[in-house]
Amino acid sequence: MHYSDKLGRIIVFLFILSFCNLFFHSCNYFTEPEPFVNKDVKAPEILPYPSLYSQIGDTVKDVINVEFFPTGDLSQILKVQFIVDWDIVATLNKPPFQFSTDTKQWPNGKHIIRFGIYYNQAMKLGVLNLLNMPPVFYCDTIEFLHAPHAPVNILIDQINSHPRISWSHPAQADVQYYVVRRYNVSGQITFQDTISQSSPHVEIDMQDTAIIGKTVQYDVGAANKYGINFSNIIVHEYGVQLSVSFNGQGLRCVVDETDTTVIITDVNSNMWKFSCQTANIIQRTSGLNPYMAPAVNLDRSRIYFLGDFISDISYDFYTVYAHYYWLPPSGAVGLTVGLQDRLYIIDKNGKLFVYDGNTTNLISTTPLLTQGSPLIKTSPDGKMLLTVDQTVLKTFSISGDSFTPISQTDIGGTILDWRMLWTSNEVLINRTQSSLSTSGYSLEIWNYTTFTKRIIPNPQESSEITAITATARYIYAAYNIKVEGEPYTMLVEYDMTTQNRNHQWIIIGTANFLAASQKGRCLFANFSSHGNNRIWILDLTGGTSL
Amino acid sequence: MKWKLFVIPLLFFIIQTACSQDTASHLSSAVFFSAGYANESPVYVREYYDNVVEFYRDNGVPIPTQLDFGRTITADAGIYFKAIKGVRIGFSIGYSFSPAYSNYQDYAGTLKVNGSVNALEIAFRGQFTTVEIADVPIYLNIQLGVCQNSASITQELRFIDFPENNFDSKWSASAWGVCSQLTFGVPVRLGDFILVLEGGYRYSSCQVTGVTIESSTGNSSIDSHWDIGQDGFVFLASIEMNI
């Protein structure tokens, strides 16, 4: 064989051999190879740590304070994260690994507390380095039992005549009820009320309340069984000079109290008395009301009297100014103040007028009532009007100068006095018994939306109830009784919810009016006996008279 | 490697037989099938793949590259028609597959980063006899055509203790382009068949205008101007049968 033939065959042989080698080798390309097993990577050695339970128990009410890895060689720890329900709360890069957080940012209930540990040897941890979280966890389940956040978006109504406040549910709300507090200029709480949880935008404060000082200050607390958290105090320019509250309609008293001072305005007997009490009642100043007013209503900065004509008393501190307003031709018997200082007036024929400060409009061409009644009230939001037509309780929807009847019910007796319980849509009514076979008086709580009632039992059967008042929790009624022929008053305190009697006092004389202080600490009672009037101030906290 | 014990004597027999036969007269119409190996590399895809693998290495996972792009197996089938003496023309369809594998496992889980480029092509072929060396003709094969290349890179991350953090991702792109191939071949007659051993260079260019990414965290499309074509040396073995 020629030399070149041999060379050619060898070349072809090597070519084919190489090709076959490559080709058969490349047949493995279709098959995914077994993964490379890295046996150098091992789980890190876990350092001992104290359990959360040993440090804080299985429940926490407010703040968690815990230290992780308090002892031991921490040199291998790169950083520790404190994680609640996958929220990274804090990251510490060096000892001591102490964490503290307020649990109120989470709702009540069980939560998983995790401590994420990063080790210095993290780079040897293989695929765990790819976790979007710490490679090592310690987990415990802790139950948060804490008071809810304070309410938010607190607003004080600037349109209405009276201080009204609204708010929104706090975040993560676990609220059972709200508490509203008002402060005086000295920072002392002068008012407190409890609002049900279902009313996060409640407008509180009685219609019969105005504020002392040029500002008002409120805070609102959200509460549950674990506690209460109050908002910051909201300060609002209000520009009035006297803090007063009226009890119901008519000739009643004006009250404010601080820890050491009680200011009373006794409008009985046409006399305004601004008084201060420390140990004794001291009269500061007084003004003569020239008219015996059958109805009294209170605006933010004015007190409206209804006599032969409507008068408005501007009460700069210790000073009384009177202004006079239009009166219906037939004479007014009742008035109330609505939104934007509108006066709603009922004349003797039962017609309703509205006075906006400039003009007066007759808004009921036909009589609203069969006869005039001094019992007329607007709700705190100004959207509802309640009035009494002899034995019938009527509600109307008010919008500006127009109104629409909503509902009415005959409560079965002549209403003598009432006291609005706006926060519960109820009205405390003192009425006569309707049945001719029975005489006497009945004290009842009527829901003016459902017209259902609760009866307060009369401890003296047919005794006349001469005065009533109420706080958010208690009802006070004055029963006229005879002791050895002399007129006495049995003053009884009832629980608003259960209607049970809590306290009672026997005081000589006939009660003309009752007024409870807004904080519920004092009860002001005017008694007449043998032609003399005396004001009693009962300490409701101790059950004795002051 | 036991297969080599059988293949090497078989090759000796084939070559001994082939070189003793006349191969110059086989340039007639024929069908053919060829398969082979190339070191084609999809430059852009390979760069992206390497970046993905490098990302995991930078983040503490020592994942090895078990097979990188640049090793392609290819197969073609077609037909030749005799044109003039020493020249045949025809066409072919072909397929090539270029994979990349990186699989890793440790006590906590597994990580797989795999890639592939698949190419389908339809081409016009021309074959010319150039010179003869030791009575063995050397063919020049020229191929021009269109191709469709599809590239994908998949990532699969599995945690043993944290399955909720498992991750899957598939990057894919597809485009039409042009392809060409220039090879020199040596024919070897095997009875009624002719074995042609070829070596040369091939090139393809496929411009993509967008890629899609499907992952366990959501799907997305990204405008992109990449060339997922390949180029490199190719070695083929063709079996021809005259028709």
- DSSP readout, A393-427? EEEEEEETTEEEEEEEEE-SS-EEEEEEEGGGTEE
For residue A284, pLDDT over 50 is answered with no
pLDDT digits (tens, 9 = 90+) for A49-61: 777 777 778 888 8
For residue A253, pLDDT over 50 is answered with no
Confidence at A27, pLDDT banded by 50, 70, 90: low
Chain A residues closer than 8 Å to B188 by CB: 12
Q: Give me the residues paired with residue B12 across strands.
A: none
Do the Cβ atoms of B159 and A43 come within 8 Å? no
Q: Give the span between the Cα atoms of A97 and A218, in whole angstroms.
A: 41
Give the N- to C-terminal CA distance of chain B in Å, as an integer: 37
Chain A residues closer than 8 Å to B12 by CB: 13
pLDDT digits (tens, 9 = 90+) for A289-323: 333 333 344 444 455 555 545 555 444 333 334 45
Contact A335, A347 (CB under 8 A): no
Measure A422 CA to nearest chain B CA, in Å.
Answer: 54
- Residue A313 in tokens: 């008393």
Q: Give the span between the Cα atoms of B205 and B227, in whole angstroms.
A: 6
Confidence at A285, pLDDT banded by 50, 70, 90: very low
Do the Cβ atoms of A20 and B60 come within 8 Å? no
Q: Give the span between the Cα atoms of B228 and B176, in whole angstroms.
A: 10
Q: Give me the residues paired with residue B157 across strands.
A: B111, B167
For position B183, what pLDDT does the model report?
A: 93
Chain A residues closer than 8 Å to B238 by CB: none
Class of domain B3-242: mainly beta
Confidence at A6, pLDDT banded by 50, 70, 90: low
pLDDT digits (tens, 9 = 90+) for A115-150: 888 777 655 678 887 876 666 667 788 888 877 888
HEC string for A271-331? EEEEEEECCCEEEEEEEECCCCCCEEEECCCEEEEECCCEEEEECCCCCCEEEEECCCCCC
Averaged pLDDT, B65-69: 91
Q: What is the separation of C-alpha B209 from the centre of its chain, rounded to a whole number of angstroms?
A: 23
- Residue B80 in tokens: 């030749």
For position A465, what pLDDT does the model report?
A: 87
Q: Give the span between the Cα atoms of A137 and A80, in whole angstroms.
A: 10
Output B71 or A20, whichever has higher pLDDT.
B71
For position A116, what pLDDT does the model report?
A: 83
Domains of chain A: which residue ranges? 52-144, 152-237, 247-325, 411-546
To test the contact with chain A by mutation, choose from B106, B139, B166, B215 the residue with the greatest count of A C-beta atoms within 10 A, namely B106
DSSP A173-184: ---SEEEEEEE-
pLDDT digits (tens, 9 = 90+) for B196-210: 888 999 999 998 877
Tell me, yes or no, if A133 comes closer than 8 A to chain B by beta carbon: yes
| Element of type H or E holding A56 | helix A52-56
Q: Give the span between the Cα atoms of B25 and B240, in whole angstroms.
A: 13
Q: In what order do the strands lie in the sheet with A109-119?
A: A59-60, A136-144, A109-119, A77-84, A87-92
Q: Give the span between the Cα atoms of A123 and A8, in whole angstroms.
A: 57
Do the Cβ atoms of B106 and A5 come within 8 Å? no
Do the Cβ atoms of A12 and B15 come within 8 Å? yes
Closest B-chain CA to A27: B73
Q: What is the largest CA-CA distance in chain B?
A: 71
For position B14, what pLDDT does the model report?
A: 53
Residue type, B177: G
Measure A43 CA to nearest chain B CA, in Å.
Answer: 8
Do the Cβ atoms of B197 and A16 come within 8 Å? yes
Do the Cβ atoms of B165 and A133 come within 8 Å? yes
Tell me, yes or no, if A1 comes closer than 8 A to chain B by beta carbon: no
Class of domain A152-237: mainly beta
For position B145, what pLDDT does the model report?
A: 95
For position A454, what pLDDT does the model report?
A: 87
For residue A423, pLDDT over 90 is answered with no
For residue B125, pLDDT over 70 is answered with yes
Contact A476, A468 (CB under 8 A): yes
For position B177, what pLDDT does the model report?
A: 93
Measure B163 CA to nearest chain A CA, in Å.
Answer: 10
Contact A352, A386 (CB under 8 A): no
Q: Give the span between the Cα atoms of A174 and A197, in whole angstroms.
A: 9
Nearest to A23 among B12, B37, B134 (CB): B37
Does this chain's domain A52-144 share its CATH topology with A152-237? yes
Class of domain A52-144: mainly beta
Averaged pLDDT, B100-124: 94
Nearest to B19 among A9, A34, A133 (CB): A9
Q: Give the span between the Cα atoms of B97 and A399, in whole angstroms.
A: 82
Q: Give the span between the Cα atoms of A430 and B214, in whole angstroms.
A: 76
- Residue B45 in tokens: 């895809």
Measure A87 CA to nearest chain B CA, in Å.
Answer: 16
Do the Cβ atoms of A12 and B188 come within 8 Å? yes
Do the Cβ atoms of A126 and B60 come within 8 Å? yes
Tell me the range of A15-29, A387-401, B138-152 where mean pLDDT is highest.
B138-152
pLDDT digits (tens, 9 = 90+) for A203-234: 544 333 444 445 667 888 888 888 888 988 88
Q: Which of B88, B185, B99 is nearest to B136 (CA)?
A: B185
pTM over 0.90: no
Output B95 or A228, whichever has higher pLDDT.
B95
What residues contact A184, with CB distance under 8 A and at least 6 apart? A190, A212, A213, A217, A243, A258
Q: Mean pLDDT, chain A, as a whole number? A: 70
Do the Cβ atoms of B235 and A22 come within 8 Å? yes
For position A254, what pLDDT does the model report?
A: 44
Tell me, yes or no, if B157 comes closer than 8 A to chain A by beta carbon: yes
Do the Cβ atoms of A38 and B71 come within 8 Å? no
Do the Cβ atoms of B60 and A22 come within 8 Å? no
Angle between helices A3-26 and B3-19 (to 10 degrees): 140
For residue A424, pLDDT over 60 is answered with yes
Q: Which of A459, A460, A455, A477 is nearest to A523 (CA)?
A: A477
Query: How many residue pairs from chains A and B have C-beta atoms closer than 8 A?
Result: 139
Residue A160 sits at the vertex; the CA angle it makes with A334 and A261, to the nearest 5 degrees, is 85
Measure A12 CA to nearest chain B CA, in Å.
Answer: 7
Nearest to A29 among B12, B99, B104 (CB): B99
Give the N- to C-terminal CA distance of chain A in Å, as an integer: 142
Q: Give me the residues paired with residue A218 across strands.
A: A182, A234
Averaged pLDDT, A505-530: 75
Domains of chain B: which residue ranges? 3-242
Contact A478, A491 (CB under 8 A): yes
Q: Is it true that domain A411-546 has CATH number 2.130.10.10?
A: yes
Lowest mean pLDDT among A81-85, A237-241, A541-545, B194-198: A237-241
pLDDT digits (tens, 9 = 90+) for A319-360: 334 455 666 777 777 777 777 667 788 888 888 888 776 666
Do the Cβ atoms of B108 and A30 come within 8 Å? no
What is the DSSP code (8-state) at residue B41? B
For position B13, what pLDDT does the model report?
A: 52
- Residue A254 in tokens: 């004006």
Task: Provide the b/e sequence for B110-124 (b: ≥16 CB within 10 Å).
Answer: bbbbbbbbebebebe
